[in-house]
Structure 1
Amino acid sequence: MSTGHRKRATIRDVALAAGVSVSTASNALNGQGRTNSETRDRVKRIAEEIGFRPNALARGLLSRRSHSIGVITNDTYGRLTLPMTAGVSEALVDHGVSVFLCATNNDPRLAQLHLEALLDKQVDGIIFTATRLDHTPHVDLSSLPMPVVYAFAEGPANSVSFVPDDSQGARLAVEHLISLGYRRILHITGPEDFVAVRRRATAYRGCLDAMGEKSEVMFGAWGEEWGHEAVHRILSRPEPQPDAIFCGSDETARGVIDALRDHGLSVPSDIAVVGFDNWHVVAAQTRPALTTIDMGLKELGRKAGLAMLDLTQGKPVEFGIKAIGCSLVIRKSCGAV
């Protein structure tokens, strides 16, 4: 009597159908040995046709790899980490590598528990990401028995780190405003103790200095509330008001736009606004839609994943901090057509 369940195909079934030995079939599927390309392609095609899936545990024992990596992050809401993790997965999925995402909530005890769980799973490597470039991990990653890659975080000198090029992104924003004819450009941004904030502010000042224009940076807490407060301050002053505002985040930019509207000013007719992040749920829904800087988080994650893949395969990877270029996303808030 049939149970309706198809018998699981084995490596012996593949070898028999391909007319090769079991060892040849195994080498062809694992990319080992000296199997010629014609045989390798035939074995892989037949394995797919009969539905053969290699046993992950056995494959790991043979290769001494678990074909999995861990991502440790303090980004509770995933605004930065989720697009980066999507990029990591995109780089690794075709190589049969799985990704475990562990959020620490900035809790050292939880971070240690996640790390121990990943070590118990014998992951091949760990990618550490954070909500700010200069965030220090709550656990010691310096002496682990596997490679560690940093994404949106700056690791030690003997590691590989991928970060957005904040200076280049800020220059894109300011140079775009200058190209549209704006000259009195104000920069409203986040806390000065963030390294990314300082880099963007320095690049902003450099652009205006090169034009012989005055620069002014207003530092404050991240978020819409600070955008409202900053606008109230500048509109209370007697000196000429800015004709454009470059914001250090999309949330701050939305607060700025709402506050300008509350004061009877139109964006971009009276004052143009540019943000930083391209957080789509904010930027696309702001009225008018927000011109902003995209940090390329998915591409950053993809490069981190590729670096991890090379490290786990014993390939050479250059240590150091690698800055990934940002891009300008033009919407209506800057006044460009």
Structure 2
Amino acid sequence: MVNIRQVAAAAGVSIATVSNALKGTGRVSDGTRDRVRRVAHDLGYGQASRHVLGLAVTTFGDRSWNFAGVDYFARSISTATAAAHARGYALTVLPASLGTASWRSLPVDGVLLIDSPQDDPVVRTLRGRGLPIAFDGRPEEVRPGEAWVDNDHAAASRSVLDQLAAQGARRVALVAGRGRDHYNRAWIANYRAWCASRSQAELLVSASRPDAAEALLGLAEPPDAIYTTYDWGRELLALARRRGLRVPGDLMLACVSEDPRYAATDPPVTTLSLLPGTSVALAVDALVDLVECVPVAPQPPVPTRLAVRESTLRISSLINS
């Protein structure tokens, strides 16, 4: 397969110029752009490529589950599809239950992995094939021919926890997941660091279900605020109602979610968006560049967006009551 370095040498330009000319970006004259594209075509650049990318969520191994039904992953799939199409590639969304044997023969040019866990067998298989890999979510290790994009989890943690503390919370609990991906591990580590900085006792539950928070509310000194790193806001609201707790008066609630319907719950729930429309698009662009042998620069952390709503506005709620 002809690579971008060969095109650059034949056209007498830099690799960056070839990349910009083929993508229609950068400051490249029309004459140079046409010449580069003609040379690329004559050399057969990209013609051996299938022009197909794969996308998979491997955080829970090959356990069968419908990640497309989760707002974050649904937004990621939509974004990745549009980004791939913009670069002339098709995108295949792969089921979570795809076995190792299938990964060995999957007809794709490169793969985008979302929330890859530690010691991911899929990563080992793809590396064995020499396929380019891009990660949405920081992987355990990055090798040549790979790239990753991730959020600034430390800043995201502070934005939520500081909001709760500013509204009077003194016992903030975290309901995290049991995944071995960097996302889950980073949130737990940042929560513990925040608690240590404020001399607050840790109130941490790692669980696969939101009703694990029930045990927190049964403590002699229960939390006065709960934050969950997953889309469990509705379940926590229901739990508060069963306990006869007022939100936000007795218990403040916040969660990570891309679902805009939290603005209409009773009360509206504060959510943190990981902005997959930004991170996944960057990851797909990096993956295509890897496939096309274009140098990929490290990406800066992607910011998050906190939508503060009534569920974490205790002080203003008390003032207005």
TM-score by length of 1: 0.68
Contact kept, 8 Å, 2:104 with 2:129, in 1: the verdict is no
Corresponding letter in the other structure for 1:147: P
Alpha-carbon distance in structure 1 between the residues aligned to 2:22 and 2:147: 31
Alpha-carbon distance in structure 2 between the residues aligned to 1:36 and 1:184: 61
The reply to whether residue 327 of structure 1 matches residue 310 of structure 2 is no
Alpha-carbon distance in structure 1 between the residues aligned to 2:42 and 2:85: 16
SS of residue paired to 1:304: helix
SS of residue paired to 1:275: strand
1:107 — aligned with what? Answer: 99
Corresponding letter in the other structure for 1:267: V
1:6 — aligned with what? Answer: none
1:178 to 150, 157, 165: 165
How many Å apart are 1:133 and its aligned residue? 4.2
Corresponding residue pairs, total: 274
SS of residue paired to 1:217: strand
SS of residue paired to 1:164: coil
How many Å apart are 1:212 and its aligned residue? 3.3
Corresponding letter in the other structure for 2:219: R
Alpha-carbon distance in structure 2 between the residues aligned to 1:287 and 1:297: 26
Cα gap change, 1:142 to 1:333, in 2 (>3 Å): same
The reply to whether residue 244 of structure 1 matches residue 236 of structure 2 is no
Cα gap change, 1:288 to 1:111, in 2 (>3 Å): farther
The reply to whether residue 148 of structure 1 matches residue 128 of structure 2 is no
1:225 to 211, 230, 234: 211
Q: CA offsets, 1:133-175, max 9 Å, x none? A: 4371436111435422122361632121223333332221101
1:98 to 90, 95, 119: 90
Contact kept, 8 Å, 1:134 with 1:154, in 2: the verdict is yes
Gap runs ≥5 in structure 1: 1-27, 42-57
Contact kept, 8 Å, 1:104 with 1:111, in 2: the verdict is no
SS of residue paired to 2:244: coil
1:25 — aligned with what? Answer: none
Alpha-carbon distance in structure 1 between the residues aligned to 2:300 and 2:264: 32
2:120 — aligned with what? Answer: 136
Contact kept, 8 Å, 2:172 with 2:224, in 1: the verdict is yes
2:176 — aligned with what? Answer: 189
2:147 to 160, 163, 178: 160
Alpha-carbon distance in structure 1 between the residues aligned to 2:22 and 2:176: 53
The reply to whether residue 77 of structure 1 matches residue 67 of structure 2 is yes
Alpha-carbon distance in structure 2 between the residues aligned to 1:308 and 1:60: 24
1:272 — aligned with what? Answer: 252
1:53 — aligned with what? Answer: none
SS of residue paired to 2:158: helix
Q: CA RMSD in A?
A: 3.5
Contact kept, 8 Å, 1:168 with 1:203, in 2: the verdict is no
Cα gap change, 1:190 to 1:36, in 2 (>3 Å): closer
How many Å apart are 1:272 and its aligned residue? 0.6
The reply to whether residue 298 of structure 1 matches residue 277 of structure 2 is yes
Alpha-carbon distance in structure 2 between the residues aligned to 1:244 and 1:191: 21
How many Å apart are 1:109 and its aligned residue? 3.7
Corresponding letter in the other structure for 1:70: L
Contact kept, 8 Å, 2:137 with 2:151, in 1: the verdict is yes
* Percent identity over paired residues: 20
1:214 to 197, 201, 205: 201
Alpha-carbon distance in structure 2 between the residues aligned to 1:197 and 1:322: 20
Q: Mean Cα displacement is larger for which, 289-298 or 103-112?
A: 103-112
Alpha-carbon distance in structure 2 between the residues aligned to 1:39 and 1:88: 30
Gap runs ≥5 in structure 2: 1-20, 35-39, 59-65, 317-321
1:7 — aligned with what? Answer: none
Q: Mean Cα displacement is larger for which, 74-83 or 297-306?
A: 74-83
Q: CA offsets, 1:280-321, max 9 Å, x none? A: 1774564322212211222111111221233234322146x8
Contact kept, 8 Å, 1:248 with 1:275, in 2: the verdict is yes
Alpha-carbon distance in structure 2 between the residues aligned to 1:30 and 1:243: 52
Alpha-carbon distance in structure 1 between the residues aligned to 2:81 and 2:228: 31
How many Å apart are 1:102 and its aligned residue? 2.4
2:44 to 58, 62, 76: 62
Rg bigger for which structure?
1
Corresponding letter in the other structure for 1:88: A
Alpha-carbon distance in structure 2 between the residues aligned to 1:30 and 1:305: 14
Alpha-carbon distance in structure 1 between the residues aligned to 2:172 and 2:33: 62
The reply to whether residue 88 of structure 1 matches residue 80 of structure 2 is yes
Contact kept, 8 Å, 2:151 with 2:279, in 1: the verdict is yes
Alpha-carbon distance in structure 2 between the residues aligned to 1:244 and 1:29: 52
Alpha-carbon distance in structure 2 between the residues aligned to 1:311 and 1:169: 29
How many Å apart are 1:59 and its aligned residue? 6.3
2:216 to 230, 234, 237: 234
